[in-house]
A and B are shown apart, each in its own frame.
Chain A
Amino acid sequence: MKRIFFVDDEQRVVDGLRRMLRAMRDEWDMAFFNSGPAALEAMDALQPDIVVSDMRMPGMNGAEFLGEVRKRHPGTVRLILSGQCDRAAVLDAAGPAHQFLSKPCSAESLRNTVARIFEVQEQLASPQIRTAVAQLEALPISANHMGALAEVLAQPTPSETDLIEIVNQDLGLFSKCLQLVSSGFLGSQQEVIRPAEVVSAMGADALRSLVLEKQIFPTLPPGPPLEAAASLFQKISQATAETARRIAAEQSSDESIRRLAEIGGRLARIGVAVLAVIDPAKYVQIWRLGVSRRTSKMDLEMRFFGVHRADVGAYLLGLWGVPSPLVDIVRNSPWPHRTKEHAFSALTAVHAACFFVEEAASELLQPNYALDLPYLEDVGAIPRLDRWREIARCVVDGLEIAPHLLSYAGEVLAPVSAAIPVGGVYSGELQS
């Protein structure tokens, strides 16, 4: 049975939760605590799958408690359930907490959130990778973007245009902001949002606090192969977002489909970043083999990690409370026929965009999957494929990806530099 711990210093809230969740007693094993330390002590004996904690408590507050849980039981999913409205205090939890539920939170919404987390956990086969992903507070911001960002944020009134430009280029920054905005850290939950909306929803102060003060973004080990790969990766993600957006715009007048296509395209490869952070040395091997043997990197991921980018990316986004339609697009983008609905959708656009961008980028980049032709035929997209290929080529040329690609290929084929650690940041957990 799945185990959940609830922590709140107010006894009445604890009693209310216990009664309200009684209906779930056959599915969930629940325990309730009045303080973080009491829950931590119980955790040593019985490790929960999820902890749900209040934010403001005397002694150890919710952010500190979840930070401690992250250290001791990295695989446990960490949620805040708080009536706290003070933004500065809420941001303290932005690192350790996966999601932020605001009090008052309806029984239905709490049950759905927990059920959704169990659902995404089932969908990622490897417990080790699940643990490593749950431990991530954020994905890295590319070194050059970090420099530019620090410079803009150092201004007394940072330029919004500059910030949007950086969020638009950096998947690490965008994905963290998407998590905070869509899972209720910043008050009202918002649906699928674009980089420009991220900046206005977050505000420069919150960005400054996250990036410069709390420093929750991890840094990749410095060195040419990772930096070159990261910079190519950012460009390819940006190109996929743009291509998917244009394909959707040509096929559909529905604004929500265009939006989903753009953000889905941006997030489609997020699993690559996750795996590269979990074990950079291993992933450099994948890059190298991908270039030298023209092998699909998704196949290599399966060989090296036992999982692939689509499932890993979907798991991270699911933990982070990113809206389900986006999570489903990321999970299904390589094989859209697995979904029930066979009509043009954002998924169609993302599936095609990933393939055509990789194809257009260079012969050096072997597309990671083949086009799902039976699906595309069902959707009636076969006659559109040449047009979509042209869109991708146009976007790739416009973003000047070629030089990034060359330096990437050169660097990953070069002999291993001493700067790359053997085994990664989380390799300890992976091997154990």
Chain B
Amino acid sequence: MIEKAEWAEVLDACVAPPEGATLGGGPQATTEEAGYLAEVRVQQLLNELVALKASHAEAVATAIAEREARLAERDEHFRQMHALLRQAADAIVTLDNDAVIRSANDAAERMFGRSEKELAGKSLDEVIEYEVGASHSDILKLLERMVSNHSPVEVVIRNADGRMLPAEMAVSRVLVDEESLYFGSFRDVSERKMLEAKVRQAQKMESIGQLAAGIAHEINTPVQYIGDNTSFVLDAVRDMEGIVQACLELQSAAESGKCREDLIAALIQRIRAADLEYLFQEIPKALQETLDGVKRVAHIVLAMKEFAHPGGAAKQAVDLNRAVQNAVTVARNEWKYVADVVLDLDASAPKVTCFPDDMNQVILNLIVNAAHAIAEKVGPNSESRGTIAISTRRCGEWFELRVADTGTGIPEAIRSRIFDPFFTTKPVGKGTGQGLAIVHAVVVQKHGGTIHVESEVGRGSEFIVRIPCRDSSQENMANAS
């Protein structure tokens, strides 16, 4: 289209003859000439107009084609996005404000073991488990909380075929057709869980290997003096046999009425050689120490047995005071050269429902850590020693275990990272950095307890573990039935 301003230009051009269009060239051209010139000029302009219109139409067509191509591209993009969402590795569902599933992608269908149709209309709490006994309103609260803090949580997916899959759930809000929906994505973490379990197992094997060497040393020492004392008693019995033999010979000589001087001299000689006074003094001691040694070995073996095979895989009521005593015994070789252990165990503390195997590991790791912290402070082969104070208390519904050492302490800067997996201040090859991470995982995740540390650099650290005396998950189950 030609704008107004342009028309004005065209009309002006019509009135004023174009340059070089004059016939005679003079300003005094005749009116006839002027009329002819104007006609030519109009024709020219008309031609120009037609050309202009044609090119404009072309521009419009191009613009339309471009727009269509863009739309097609966007369409393709949408299709791709849709395909991406459908085939994303993470399971994705949309949920309405009441946590009811609207749609689900392929991965969600696989992970939940149900088709999108089957999933649609189900409430989220029908297909996942967050916390044992969590209600529908708990789930709604959880979703709202997750939208605001953006951190994923671990849930368990209840697959249609009955399998339970550990997954990590992330939630955000999306606006679809003016409606606000939850956008939930789930990631299968069973492999990661398996790896974590393997690392934990490796740490356990490492600490068992170290313990085994320590326990062997603990047992070898009493076995050494048991053997030495027994061999001494055997030598002594042989000496005394000779004396008794000489006595018997003397007796039979006396019975036949003879008093033989040579036999008396032989007896005296044997008695002197044997040093009877020494033997009577040492034999009871040797036997007593042998018995003590046997008792010591039996004590270590029993502690080891209870420590290594505390029971089945299920939670059970455990006397944690005894677990502490066992752990102190099996780890003795770790601490005895650097520290004294002071126990202050609350005999009235109740048994605690827990995984005994895991709690043994927790107690052991804390004791070994304390010993290492002290060893680092006193230095190798030092005469000075530290103290590891272990106490247990009942605090209302909680069982509290404190392990305090007089070691190096933990600098403020790293105090928040000590429970992180693989975090270690020990040199490469010494420790996997898993010890405290496992303690944390067992106490907090497996038992719903708490752990924190108080520490002062140069003075020592105290780890305070609290776990509920009674198992909340079992109570919930009991309430439900």
Residues of A within 8 A of B (CB): 10, 12-13, 15-17, 19-20, 22-23, 56, 58-61, 64, 83-86, 102-107
11 extra interface residue pairs, beta carbon distance < 8 Å, beyond A19-B229, A85-B216:
A12-B293, A15-B285, A15-B286, A16-B228, A16-B229, A16-B232, A19-B232, A56-B337, A60-B381, A86-B213, A105-B227
Find out whether the CB atom of A107 lies under 8 angstroms from the CB atom of B228. Answer: yes
A12-B337 contact in complex given A19-B286, A56-B217, C-beta closer than 8 Å = no
- State A234–B228 Cα separation when bound (angstroms): 44
B383 within 8 A of A: yes
What chain B residues lie within 8 Å of A19 (beta carbons)? 228-229, 232, 282, 286
B423 within 8 A of A: no
- The proximity string for B residues 334-348 relative to A, scoring 1 for CB distances below 8 Å and 0 otherwise, is 000100000000000
- State A102–B285 Cα separation when bound (angstroms): 25
What chain A residues lie within 8 Å of B217 (beta carbons)? 56, 83-86
Shortest B273–chain A CB gap in Å is 10
Interface size on B, residues (CB 8 A): 29
- State A346–B132 Cα separation when bound (angstroms): 76
Residues of B within 8 A of A (CB): 212-213, 216-217, 219-229, 231-232, 235, 282, 285-286, 289, 292-293, 337, 381-383, 385
What chain A residues lie within 8 Å of B216 (beta carbons)? 83, 85
Pick 12 A–B contacts, CB within 8 A, sort by A: A12-B293, A13-B221, A13-B224, A16-B227, A19-B282, A19-B286, A20-B228, A22-B232, A83-B219, A85-B212, A103-B220, A104-B220
Q: Which one, A58, A84, A104, contacts B227 given CB within 8 A?
A: A104
Q: Which residue of A lies closest to B219 (CB)?
A: A83
Q: Which of B216, B292, B381 has the most CB of A within 10 A?
A: B381
- State A271–B222 Cα separation when bound (angstroms): 41
What chain A residues lie within 8 Å of B293 (beta carbons)? 12
What chain B residues lie within 8 Å of A58 (beta carbons)? 337, 381-383, 385
A103-B224 contact in complex given A19-B282, A85-B213, C-beta closer than 8 Å = yes
Q: Which residue of A lies closest to B231 (CB)?
A: A107
Shortest B215–chain A CB gap in Å is 9
Find out whether the CB atom of A23 lies under 8 angstroms from the CB atom of B225. Answer: no
Find out whether the CB atom of B381 lies under 8 angstroms from the CB atom of A106. Answer: no
Q: Which one, B213, B235, B385, contacts A23 given CB within 8 A?
A: B235
- State A64–B221 Cα separation when bound (angstroms): 20
Shortest B436–chain A CB gap in Å is 23
What chain A residues lie within 8 Å of B286 (beta carbons)? 15-16, 19
Q: Which of A10, A83, A85, A102 has the most CB of B within 10 A?
A: A83
Shortest A108–chain B CB gap in Å is 8
- State A20–B227 Cα separation when bound (angstroms): 9
Find out whether the CB atom of A83 lies under 8 angstroms from the CB atom of B220. Answer: yes
Shortest B113–chain A CB gap in Å is 45
What chain A residues lie within 8 Å of B285 (beta carbons)? 15
Shortest B237–chain A CB gap in Å is 12
What chain B residues lie within 8 Å of A86 (beta carbons)? 213, 217
- State A132–B318 Cα separation when bound (angstroms): 62
What chain B residues lie within 8 Å of A60 (beta carbons)? 381
Q: Which one, B227, B282, B382, B385, contacts A107 given CB within 8 A?
A: B227
Find out whether the CB atom of A103 lies under 8 angstroms from the CB atom of B228. Answer: no
Find out whether the CB atom of B232 lies under 8 angstroms from the CB atom of A59. Answer: no
What chain A residues lie within 8 Å of B212 (beta carbons)? 85
Find out whether the CB atom of A20 lies under 8 angstroms from the CB atom of B383. Answer: no
Q: Which of B213, B216, B220 has the most CB of A within 10 A?
A: B220
- State A111–B221 Cα separation when bound (angstroms): 18
Find out whether the CB atom of B213 lies under 8 angstroms from the CB atom of A16. Answer: no
Shortest B40–chain A CB gap in Å is 96
What chain B residues lie within 8 Å of A83 (beta carbons)? 216-217, 219-221, 224
- State A265–B443 Cα separation when bound (angstroms): 63
What chain A residues lie within 8 Å of B220 (beta carbons)? 83, 85, 102-104
A20-B221 contact in complex given A60-B381, A85-B213, C-beta closer than 8 Å = no
Shortest A339–chain B CB gap in Å is 33
What chain A residues lie within 8 Å of B223 (beta carbons)? 103-104
Q: Which one, B219, B225, B235, B382, contacts A16 given CB within 8 A?
A: B225
- State A22–B383 Cα separation when bound (angstroms): 32
What chain A residues lie within 8 Å of B225 (beta carbons)? 10, 12-13, 15-17
- State A64–B380 Cα separation when bound (angstroms): 11
Q: Which of B217, B226, B293 has the most CB of A within 10 A?
A: B217
What chain B residues lie within 8 Å of A84 (beta carbons)? 217
- State A15–B222 Cα separation when bound (angstroms): 12
Q: Which residue of B lies closest to A55 (CB)?
A: B217
- State A149–B225 Cα separation when bound (angstroms): 42
Q: Which of A16, A17, A83, A84 has the most CB of B within 10 A?
A: A16
Q: Which of B229, B232, B337 has the most CB of A within 10 A?
A: B232
What chain A residues lie within 8 Å of B213 (beta carbons)? 85-86
What chain A residues lie within 8 Å of B219 (beta carbons)? 83
- State A398–B381 Cα separation when bound (angstroms): 53
Shortest A36–chain B CB gap in Å is 10
- State A12–B227 Cα separation when bound (angstroms): 12
Find out whether the CB atom of A10 lies under 8 angstroms from the CB atom of B221. Answer: yes
10 A-B pairs with the lowest CB-CB distances in the bound complex, closest first? A83-B220, A16-B228, A16-B225, A19-B232, A20-B228, A107-B231, A104-B223, A85-B213, A103-B220, A103-B224
- State A9–B381 Cα separation when bound (angstroms): 13
What chain B residues lie within 8 Å of A103 (beta carbons)? 220-221, 223-224
What chain A residues lie within 8 Å of B292 (beta carbons)? 12
What chain A residues lie within 8 Å of B382 (beta carbons)? 58-59
- State A23–B239 Cα separation when bound (angstroms): 10
Q: Which residue of B lies closest to A58 (CB)?
A: B337
Find out whether the CB atom of B227 lies under 8 angstroms from the CB atom of A106. Answer: yes
Shortest A246–chain B CB gap in Å is 43
- State A59–B385 Cα separation when bound (angstroms): 10
Shortest A204–chain B CB gap in Å is 14
Shortest B240–chain A CB gap in Å is 14
Find out whether the CB atom of A59 lies under 8 angstroms from the CB atom of B228. Answer: no
What chain B residues lie within 8 Å of A13 (beta carbons)? 221, 224-225, 228
Shortest A423–chain B CB gap in Å is 36
Find out whether the CB atom of B381 lies under 8 angstroms from the CB atom of A20. Answer: no
What chain A residues lie within 8 Å of B227 (beta carbons)? 16, 20, 104-107
What chain B residues lie within 8 Å of A10 (beta carbons)? 221, 225
Shortest B280–chain A CB gap in Å is 13
- State A85–B227 Cα separation when bound (angstroms): 19
What chain A residues lie within 8 Å of B222 (beta carbons)? 12
Shortest A208–chain B CB gap in Å is 12
Shortest A342–chain B CB gap in Å is 39
Q: Which of A19, A86, A102, A104 has the most CB of B within 10 A?
A: A19
- State A361–B360 Cα separation when bound (angstroms): 67
Shortest A329–chain B CB gap in Å is 33
Q: Which of A10, A17, A103, A107 has the most CB of B within 10 A?
A: A103
- State A61–B379 Cα separation when bound (angstroms): 13
Shortest A158–chain B CB gap in Å is 16
Q: Which residue of A lies closest to B289 (CB)?
A: A12
- State A64–B349 Cα separation when bound (angstroms): 46
What chain A residues lie within 8 Å of B235 (beta carbons)? 22-23
Shortest A32–chain B CB gap in Å is 12
Q: Which residue of A lies closest to B216 (CB)?
A: A85
- State A107–B213 Cα separation when bound (angstroms): 24
What chain B residues lie within 8 Å of A59 (beta carbons)? 381-383
- State A104–B229 Cα separation when bound (angstroms): 12
Find out whether the CB atom of B381 lies under 8 angstroms from the CB atom of A105. Answer: no
Q: Which of A17, A22, A105 has the most CB of B within 10 A?
A: A22
Shortest B331–chain A CB gap in Å is 14
A17-B221 contact in complex given A23-B235, A58-B337, A61-B381, C-beta closer than 8 Å = no
